[in-house]
Structure 1
Amino acid sequence: MAAVNLAYPYSDADDQEPAPTPVRRPWPHRRAVRAVPEAGPLIAMIGGGQADRTGREHLYRRLHEAGVRVLSFDRSAPAAWQRPYLAGHKWVSAMNAATLSAVVAAHPDPVNGIICWEDRHFAAAAAVADRLRLPGYGRTAATASRDRAVTRTLLEASGCAVPRSALAVDLAEAEEAARTLGYPVVLKPRLKTTGYPARLAEDHGRLITGFAATAGAATAAAATLGARRGVLVEQRLDGPEIVAICLTVGGVTQLVSIVRTMVDFTPSAADLGHLVDAADPLLDDQTIRHAANVSLRALGVQDGASQVSMRLTPAGPCVMAVNPGLHDLVTRLVYLATGADLATAETMIACGAPMTVTPQRHHRVAAVTYLSAPAPGKVSRLELGAQLSDQVGRAAWLERLVLDVAPGSAVDPSPDGHTARIGLAVVTGRNRRECHERLDRLRRALKVTVVAADGSAPPAMSVSGSR
């Protein structure tokens, strides 16, 4: 990344500028970088300190290129790579609405808007916007979207199609719900929080073990977030899963993009990857548009970005969840495929500025696949293959390949039952078939050998990922 010329009030002499990234060929749809205005809107970023560079830097870059000045408000100081993108950082003693509102309001320069890219702070950020009378998602909507039971109640009351479900606070209630719904069922903590995935229970035995794990996660989340505990026992639906990316201004919603999601249950839900097709025919499906609009109105969303998860069943789209804000890498995929700059659009909405997003409906597809090792153990060898090594940093279709392991790294099963991810890859193509072919080529070329705990070494295997 080239150095960003933004004055930053830090005196740490040891901080280094981010290393330049490899020069890549420009994408056919990429627009020229705009000059940075001398004084753009001033935005309060709630949270975000020490963010992951892989998924988050492109969002900061988009705001910088749009001339947006970002002030960070967090208990954690920004990482070194974040600082060139920021106009400043303000330490906050507590990440609650009252404290944040007071600190933001006390800033000498008036703040034009509030944004947040951290799920755990989103409700507080929405409350800050309400208190300061700035455009925002709405505190009620942000709080409701985090509670699956409340979300489900509001969606059902609005007439939105949702899976049949029941809230259980103990195993007996979960068993009764499973008997009523019929196996298999999906177990989800009542409160959405990172690291506590849904679990699939195909029979009574798996219900017992799955409920114990999910109830523990639900109790921990409730203790942290100060809300009621419980497990949502949900009907398992068949059909492809999609996410409708929406922008709402003054309660009026625009469907911007469709994300096709690959999920694996072994035994808990894990995203294997996402794909965005600029010419996806689902963009013209009126039932999907209607479901997204009804669900966001039901929650009372006012201004901001949303992700409406749906299952496309034979009876029509069924809304699974409503998640406020933007997903780091999905936002990147939407930009690569359609040219739509969601990060800047969300920020302009937060400032109350008129914003029109017109995604390009051309033949362009972008996809991310999350890579997992073939087995737990210690990595003894990692090979990219001659053909893949030659492509990294040169091929326009390979936007990024990130590997988080090296020979000697430990690869352990994650708490949710999946082998830990070892990296990710983002590719583009003219259509979905070409994207999948490139992902397959990448997975075949990338070999990881893992030594088991007893010292035995299975044959080298290609890494696993989405298809």
Structure 2
Amino acid sequence: MTGKPHLLVVATGMRLFREYLLRSIAPQYRLHMFLHSEPTWEKEYLDDWTVLETTLVAETLVAAAVELHGTDPIDGVLCWDEARILQTAHVAEALGLPGGDVAMINRCRDKHLTRSALAEHGVPQPQSVLVNSVDEALTTAGEIGYPIILKPRALAASLGVIKVQDAAELRDSWAFAHDTTVPEAPHYDVNVLVEEFADGYEISIDSAIFHGQVTPFCLARKEIGYPPYAEEIGHLVDATDPLLADDQLQQVLVDAHKAIAFTDGITHTEIMMTAYGPKIIEINARIGGDLIPYLGLQATGVDPGLAAAAVACGRQPALDPDRTLVGGVRFFYVDENDTVLDSVSFDPIDAPGIDQLVVLMEPGQTTSPPPAGTLWGRIAYATTVTDSIAESRVGLDAAERALRWTGHPQEPVS
């Protein structure tokens, strides 16, 4: 037994997108992981692990955690998987640990509850109405005014989100918002939001919340593609972004967390910067995805994994930057639906700040661009670490030109 805090981690996610977190945390914490199958690459970071029949059922996680806690006391519980954050809150609640407020986490997980709490406290946000049918959606959209956004109640990564210009488009788009799901998503009888369209540019802010104090540590500017869908095709994190000194933005961020009574943990808040000021789009009770926190680590030196582990264990996180760089990521897709890949690779690149060139799919796999492909349709990505936004864009553009892929249409099923 060492003096390191004992941290329980629930699941982990894809290695390419989450290993950097474990790599940071493992030297300073004893990590025990709950998984639904034997760990592979995770083993080098773990003190121990437990394989469960499922990591999606709160009662299963709680029973296993209570048993573990009885033999080796747990100091904190951590999860960065959207499908499991609510179940993890039940574990923290059962053990009396930070983040153990199930209602608090659910106010983030359920976007309708988020909207209701923000509205009650007057936090700037788009108008939002929960609707049960296409007829209700048409009536609500007429009252709000087009264009509007259709959004599922509890998905992530912009899945099922679409901008609608008029009543005809709404009828055509209803099934996309209503029926889009993932296997691990929660089910609601009423699951679609009709929202006012907030015009502007979108950012995200990862924050550490410790005893109610909100401290942002990573601000990213989103690159959105494939309209009218809201596919996130890239992000840029600038350690000297002027928005970091925007008092109005900071106040809205603090007010939003106060409105949902978020006291301890990590959040990923998405905000639209409009001509009328910042408006909250959503608050996620976890660290950001799409390598955004990794870009922040490279750009600022603030370690997101260690920040998340610290607040999970009731400790003050270390959030002082030690560099001022820019991190960027861009994701790449095929051109046509149901493309069977023959090859995917990058040519050698001579460009500023190339950090990673990563192929995500192998020959023989079938993929599509958004909206059918979404984040699972990506065939590759590139990251850069540079001195400026301009240099980062040059590097990402060069990576896009260097990407080489070939494919053929999938054979129709007879």
> In the alignment, what sits opposite 2:304?
342
Q: Tell me by how many angstroms 1:345 deviates.
A: 1.3
Work out whether residues 403 and 423 of structure 1, in 8 Å CA contact, stay in contact via their aligned partners in 2. Answer: yes
- Residue 423 (1) aligns with residue 380 (2): yes
- Corresponding letter in the other structure for 2:239: A
> In the alignment, what sits opposite 2:16?
54
- Residue 233 (1) aligns with residue 197 (2): no
Q: Tell me by how many angstroms 1:257 deviates.
A: 2.3
> In the alignment, what sits opposite 1:436?
393
Structure number with greater Rg is 1
What is the percentage of aligned positions where both structures have the same residue? 28
> In the alignment, what sits opposite 2:116?
153
Q: Structure 2-normalised TM-score?
A: 0.91
> In the alignment, what sits opposite 1:307?
268
Q: C-alpha offsets along residues 16-72 of structure 1, whole Å, 9 cap, x if unaligned? A: xxxxxxxxxxxxxxxxxxxxx954111111233xx311001111100123x211101
- Residue 352 (1) aligns with residue 314 (2): yes
Cα 1:380–1:84, aligned 2, differ >3 Å: closer, same or farther? Answer: closer
> In the alignment, what sits opposite 1:403?
359
Among residues 203, 216, 220, which one is paired with 2:179 in the alignment? 216
Q: Tell me by how many angstroms 1:265 deviates.
A: 4.3
Work out whether residues 384 and 445 of structure 1, in 8 Å CA contact, stay in contact via their aligned partners in 2. Answer: yes
- Corresponding letter in the other structure for 1:45: V
- Residue 242 (1) aligns with residue 206 (2): no
Cα 1:224–1:242, aligned 2, differ >3 Å: closer, same or farther? Answer: closer
Alignment partners' CA distance in 1, 2:315 and 2:345: 49
Alignment partners' CA distance in 1, 2:344 and 2:268: 36
SS of structure 1 residue aligned to 2:41: coil
User: Pairwise mapping of residues 245-284 of structure 1 onto structure 2 (< 5 A)?
Assistant: 245-284=206-245
Alignment partners' CA distance in 2, 1:137 and 1:251: 14
Tell me the number of residue pairs that the alignment of Structure 1 and Structure 2 aligns: 406
> In the alignment, what sits opposite 1:289?
250
Alignment partners' CA distance in 1, 2:119 and 2:103: 17
Q: C-alpha offsets along residues 379-404 of structure 1, whole Å, 9 cap, x if unaligned? A: 4455533x42xx6xxx8822211112
User: Pairwise mapping of residues 69-148 of structure 1 onto structure 2 (< 5 A)?
Assistant: 69-78=30-39, 80-94=40-54, 95-107=56-68, 108-136=71-99, 138-148=101-111
SS of structure 2 residue aligned to 1:225: coil
Q: C-alpha offsets along residues 375-434 of structure 1, whole Å, 9 cap, x if unaligned? A: 34334455533x42xx6xxx8822211112455543334564669211111111101000
Q: Tell me by how many angstroms 1:230 deviates.
A: 2.6
Q: Structure 1-normalised TM-score?
A: 0.81
- Residue 199 (1) aligns with residue 162 (2): yes
Alignment partners' CA distance in 1, 2:14 and 2:411: 34
Work out whether residues 379 and 407 of structure 1, in 8 Å CA contact, stay in contact via their aligned partners in 2. Answer: yes
Cα 1:311–1:194, aligned 2, differ >3 Å: closer, same or farther? Answer: closer
Name whichever of 139-148 and 283-292 sits farther off: 139-148
User: Pairwise mapping of residues 175-194 of structure 1 onto structure 2 (< 5 A)?
Assistant: 175-193=138-156
Work out whether residues 301 and 323 of structure 2, in 8 Å CA contact, stay in contact via their aligned partners in 1. Answer: no
5+ residue gaps, structure 1? 1-36, 456-467
5+ residue gaps, structure 2? none
Q: Tell me by how many angstroms 1:305 deviates.
A: 0.8
Cα 1:383–1:115, aligned 2, differ >3 Å: closer, same or farther? Answer: closer
> In the alignment, what sits opposite 2:282?
321
Alignment partners' CA distance in 2, 1:178 and 1:140: 30
Q: Tell me by how many angstroms 1:195 deviates.
A: 7.9
Q: Tell me by how many angstroms 1:111 deviates.
A: 0.6
